[in-house]
């Protein structure tokens, strides 16, 4: 599955880019799987996703729990807890 | 009649009186308008600016979702939520919420509810800029904000 990933705030800064299109292996089923897969892609990903449990994931611009499946996602947002308002 | 929230994500400033007028124009049934304005503060002189980053598209969608929840839950007659992005200086506006209802309690609660959810689920992030011009760090999310949100459960 090929998917567009978009990163924000310190996740974006640590990975070093705002977005990318990547090919996911079949073993990546849930949002949690995705975060753990990304961590294996290099030091910058490891650094950004060191504590995956604090990272928020949005599929097609809607928040999802880490246990949710990401099949059919066109765009996945990966970012730290929000601090607007 | 179904009411829809007015939601805007913009870099430019907003005008409080203009937004209240837009919400109440021609209405004779609104008895209460509560507004909340969030401003950038300088943290005792340490901060020169905040940089607000957002997730375009999702920010608007999430604010719409929160706004619709508030309209329904508090039977509001109108709701406006505006959130700015980009560089914002101390003293400048960041966010505006206006809730209108027949009586005061629903308007107070509606505005409070929208702010509690905006802070915890609308995709915005603040980065601090120090007085010497260097970027400091990203603002950390506060547990107190989650607690404030959870009181609405």
Domains of chain B: 6-150 (3.90.1170.40)
- Are the Cβ atoms of A83 and B125 closer than 8 angstroms? yes
Q: What residues contact residue B80 under an 8 Å CB cut-off, 6+ apart?
A: B5, B6, B7, B19, B22, B23, B96, B97, B98
Instruction: Give the chain B residue nearest A62 (alpha carbons).
Output: B58
Per-residue pLDDT of chain A (85 residues; tens, 9 = 90+): 899 999 999 999 999 999 999 999 999 999 999 999 999 999 999 999 999 999 999 999 999 999 999 999 999 999 999 999 9
Closest in B61, B94, B126 to A61, CB measured: B61
Supply the ipTM of this predicted assembly: 0.96
Task: Quick: pLDDT tens for B48-82.
Answer: 999 999 999 999 999 999 999 999 999 999 999 99
Residue bearing tokens 């598209």: B57
Q: How far apart are CA B11 and CA B120, in angstroms?
A: 21
- Answer yes or no: CATH 3.10.20.30 is held by domain A2-79: yes
φ and ψ of B8, to 5 deg: -140, 140
- Are the Cβ atoms of A85 and B94 closer than 8 angstroms? yes
Residues of A with CB under 8 A from a CB of B: 6, 8-10, 58, 61-63, 77, 79-85
Secondary structure letter of residue A54 according to DSSP: G
Residue B139 structure tokens? 């603002």
Secondary structure letter of residue B20 according to DSSP: H
- Are the Cβ atoms of A82 and B115 closer than 8 angstroms? no
**Bridge partner list, B146:** none
CA distance B28 to chain A (A): 31
Distance of CA A33 to the CA centre of its chain: 10
């Amino acid at each position: 599955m090929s998917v567009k990933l978009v990163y924000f705030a310190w996740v974006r800064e640590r990975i070093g880019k705002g977005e990318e299109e990547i090919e996911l292996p079949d073993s990546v089923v849930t949002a949690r799987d995705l975060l753990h897969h990304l961590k294996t892609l290099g030091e910058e990903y490891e650094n950004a996703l060191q504590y995956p449990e604090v990272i928020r994931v949005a599929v097609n611009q809607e928040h999802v729990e880490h246990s949710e499946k990401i099949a059919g996602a066109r765009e996945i947002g990966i970012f730290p807890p929000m601090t607007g308002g | 009649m179904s009411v829809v929230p007015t939601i805007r994500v913009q870099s430019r400033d907003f005008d409080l009186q203009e937004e209240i007028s837009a919400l109440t124009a021609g209405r004779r049934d609104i008895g209460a308008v509560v507004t909340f304005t969030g401003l950038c503060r300088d943290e005792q002189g340490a901060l020169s600016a905040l940089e607000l980053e957002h997730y375009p598209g999702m920010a608007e969608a999430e604010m719409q979702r929160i706004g619709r929840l508030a309209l329904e839950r508090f039977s509001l007659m109108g709701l406006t939520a505006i959130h700015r992005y980009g560089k914002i200086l101390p003293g400048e506006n960041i966010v505006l919420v206006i809730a209108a209802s027949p009586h005061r309690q629903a308007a107070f609660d509606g505005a409070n509810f929208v702010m509690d959810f905006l802070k915890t689920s609308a995709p915005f992030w603040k980065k601090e800029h120090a007085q010497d011009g260097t970027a400091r760090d990203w603002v950390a999310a506060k547990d107190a904000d989650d607690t404030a949100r959870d009181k609405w459960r």
